[in-house]
């Protein structure tokens, strides 16, 4: 369902797990930092609002979205980390570089989650332009960081079920 049909910050809070003792790794790409900082703010607010403790949130920055995979692996391999949230924004340029980054980071993040059997969340915007990014980083379509955080919470509930 496209973001213009489902707001990224609109979600059910039915049967959310207790996350007061859960530890979250958050990997943030520095590329397009005006966007990724907004994603981080949304993710942080969502985690705290639903019971996470600030001392249990571990943020690491990486240069670009391509490095999110290695950052996610660095955190996911830590036994004490319960879930990892990856935040980035890859904006289409003039070349096919966009395609290679998006493909690599989507597959890479998936592989880390499978390897360590824990939630590793793809909170990466892949817009055509800056306006589409702004619309999804706290704009009219909500905040992808909110969506990434609530997805991590719900997947922790899945693993507890
Ligand atoms: N153009 C964007 C990039 N490019 C940088 C890559 O992610 C990577 O850091 C580089 O290729 C070195 O490995 N990254 C983004 O996150 N967003 C972009 O729009
Ligand atoms: C996604 C990118 O790496 C891209 O923004 C770089 O721009 P370009 O394709 O014009 O070199």
What ipTM describes this predicted complex?
0.97
CA angle 7, 65, 138 (to 5 degrees): 25
Predicted confidence (pLDDT) per residue in 114-136, tens digit: 999 999 999 999 999 999 999 99
CA 4 to ligand 1 centroid distance, Å: 26
Ligand nearest to the CA of 96: 2
| Pair 61, 30: CB distance under 8 Å | yes
Q: Among 27, 28, 31, 91, which is best to mutate for testing ligand 1, by the most ligand atoms less than 8 A from CB? A: 31
Domain ranges of the chain: 33-160
Task: Reply yes or no on whether 97 is catalytic.
Answer: yes
CATH of 33-160, one of 3.30.1310.10, 3.30.420.40, 3.40.50.960, 3.30.200.20: 3.40.50.960
pLDDT band at 39; cut points 50, 70, 90 = very high
Please identify, by atom number, the ligand 2 atom nearest to the C-alpha of residue 95. Answer: 9
The Cα 36–Cα 117 span in angstroms is 26
pLDDT digits over 77-112, tens only? Answer: 999 999 999 999 999 999 999 999 999 999 999 999
Write the CA distances from 143 to 29, 30, 95, integer angstroms: 16, 17, 27
pTM of the full structure? 0.97
Is 136 annotated as belonging to a binding site?
A: yes
CA–CA distance, 72 with 24 (Å, rounded to integer): 11
Is the per-residue pLDDT at 56 higher than 60?
Answer: yes
pLDDT level of residue 2 (50, 70, 90 thresholds) = confident
Distance between CA 154 and CA 142 in Å, rounded? Answer: 18
């Amino acid at each position: 369902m496209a973001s213009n049909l489902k707001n990224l910050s609109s979600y059910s809070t039915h049967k959310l797990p207790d996350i007061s003792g859960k530890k979250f790794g958050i990997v943030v790409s520095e590329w397009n930092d005006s966007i990724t900082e907004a994603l981080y703010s949304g993710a942080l607010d969502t985690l705290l609002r639903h019971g996470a403790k600030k001392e249990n949130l571990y943020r690491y920055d990486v240069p670009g979205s391509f490095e999110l995979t290695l950052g996610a692996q660095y955190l996911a391999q830590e036994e004490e980390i319960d879930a990892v949230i990856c935040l980035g924004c890859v904006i289409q340029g003039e070349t096919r570089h966009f395609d290679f980054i998006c493909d690599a980071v989507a597959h890479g993040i998936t592989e880390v989650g499978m390897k360590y059997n824990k939630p590793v969340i793809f909170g990466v915007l892949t817009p055509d332009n800056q306006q589409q990014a702004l619309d999804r980083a706290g704009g009219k379509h909500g905040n992808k960081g909110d969506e990434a955080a609530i997805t991590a919470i719900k997947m922790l509930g899945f693993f507890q079920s």
